[in-house]
Amino acid sequence: MQTGSRNWPAIAAASVTVVLWASAFVSIRSAGESYSPGALALGRLAAGSLVLVVICLIRRVGFPPKAAWPGILGSGLLWFGAYMVALNWGEREVDAGTAAMIVNIGPILIALLSSRLLGEGLPPRLLAGMAVSFAGAVVVGFSMSQGADGHSSVLGVVLCVIAAVTYAGGVVAQKPALRHAGALQVTTFGCLVGTIACLPFAGTLITEAATAPLPATLNMVYLGVFPTALAFTTWAFALARTTAGRMGATTYAVPVIVVGLSWLVLDEIPAVLTLAGGALCLAGVAVSRGRARRPEAVSAAPAADHRS
């Protein structure tokens, strides 16, 4: 029997991930003005890899076992590599609201893929919660699009779809790796794989870093240290302790935090429709993370009534 206290470490880790990933959107906006998509992805991954390798050396964490490498390679190429480049590029081609709506098909794809490939199943509460959260994400995205310049393109939509697909594929690939290696190992070597995959952008990164303002470079380093090195590690820790579908549903809280951070940091006052969509996102997360009543608890009451 799994008690609620046992779930708290995973819940805390997932919460850290969600907050840091939400903060990434604010930093990407700043760094993206001076760095191209590929260069920004490489700089972020290089900073994250450096921090993770240092931690592994201090803690004397060795190489992952051979059985973990297929998942590490898959998540490194899809999630750490392709996803970050596609998302950075896509957000330049479409407005933030459109990008948010498209990328938020990712958790749905995670649930479907994990059910098909990992045999996790699709509990009714998870499906209901994801439906509510996705509706909230659409409302948030629509309200953000209304305030934008209407800047969008077919290329941008395609790139955001690629980002959603690679995100889902990376998560599903990572889950089996966590059965054979620790969260720090899987994150570190996945990040290194993504860094190597983005090395073709090294020349561009060096050129842009020479002229980029200091705040943009600091934001890129922040992206590597916190939303990548720390947040991906806490994500892997939580993912090892729950299903991929439920972890994916948790990320629907990200748009809500993004709205709050934009309000506090960028003085962007959210519209009423945006707040309503955020409330739906949180309600859906609460439903998807909840547990159904145990059958024995439900059947016990009629039995007692029958005896009386």
How confident is the prediction along the chain (308 residues), in pLDDT tens digits per residue? 344 445 788 889 988 998 898 888 778 878 989 999 999 999 999 999 999 999 999 999 999 999 999 999 999 999 999 999 998 998 788 766 666 677 778 888 888 888 888 887 777 777 787 787 778 777 776 766 655 455 557 788 788 889 989 999 999 999 999 999 999 999 999 999 999 999 999 999 999 999 999 999 999 999 999 999 999 999 999 999 888 877 877 777 776 777 777 677 666 666 677 677 767 776 777 776 665 554 444 444 444 443 33
Predicted local confidence at residue 304, as pLDDT: 40
Cite the DSSP H helix spans in the chain. Answer: 4-31, 37-59, 69-75, 84-93, 96-103, 106-117, 124-146, 154-177, 183-197, 202-211, 214-223, 231-239, 244-250, 254-265, 272-289, 295-307
Q: Is residue 306 part of a domain?
A: no
**In angstroms, what CA-CA distances link 107 with 147, 163, 170, 199?**
26, 12, 12, 28
Predicted local confidence at residue 276, as pLDDT: 75
Chain centre distance of CA 138? 17
Chain centre distance of CA 42? 18
Q: Is residue 298 part of a domain?
A: no
Q: Residue 200 sits in which domain range?
A: 15-290
Q: Is residue 266 part of a domain?
A: yes
Q: Is residue 192 part of a domain?
A: yes
Specify whether the backbone of 148 is left (phi greater than 0), alpha (psi in -120 to 50) or beta. beta
What is the pTM assigned to this prediction? 0.80
Count how many domains the chain has.
Answer: 1
Q: Is residue 112 part of a domain?
A: yes
Predicted local confidence at residue 78, as pLDDT: 97
Q: Is residue 267 part of a domain?
A: yes
Within 10 Å of residue 81's Cβ, how many Cβ atoms? 24
Q: Residue 224 carries which DSSP code? A: I
Q: Is residue 202 part of a domain?
A: yes
The burial class, CB within 10 Å (0-12 / 13-18 / 19+), for 20 is buried
Q: Is residue 176 part of a domain?
A: yes
Predicted local confidence at residue 306, as pLDDT: 39
